[in-house]
Amino acid sequence: MYEKLEDQVVITPALLRTHLFEKPQASCILGWEDQQAVGFAFYFYNFSTFLGKPGLYLEDLFVSPEYRGKGYGKKMLLHLKQMAIEQGCGRMEWSVLDWNTPAIDFYKSIGAEPMNEWTVFRLTLH
């Protein structure tokens, strides 16, 4: 796993099936080359009280290592951007680990800006 967080992963195929199809809480798009899935983007909608509009939150963007550098990540992000515009969203947001320089550089190259004045908090529920 690229983020070096394998010890935190608890997802199962059953959980994916439940939250993508049976009781949808998130959605996924796939990047394809010919008949081969080469990447995915998981996302869900949130809401901004500042803007008074929904937002699209990108939870995960992944392209298989052998397909990186071919534009699949950018195509998926631009597709999500267009979807968000069509849905009336005010913004797209996502998180990136501060040491992931290649991802940060990529996101900046498409016009994304870091939100340095905000700190992410998490409350894990068990």
Distances (CA, A) of 29 to 38, 79, 123: 11, 9, 27
Q: Write out the catalytic residue numbers.
A: 107
Q: What are phi and psi of 62, to 5 degrees?
A: -140, 135
Residue of 29, 57, 39 whose CA lies nearest to 115: 57
SS3 77: helix
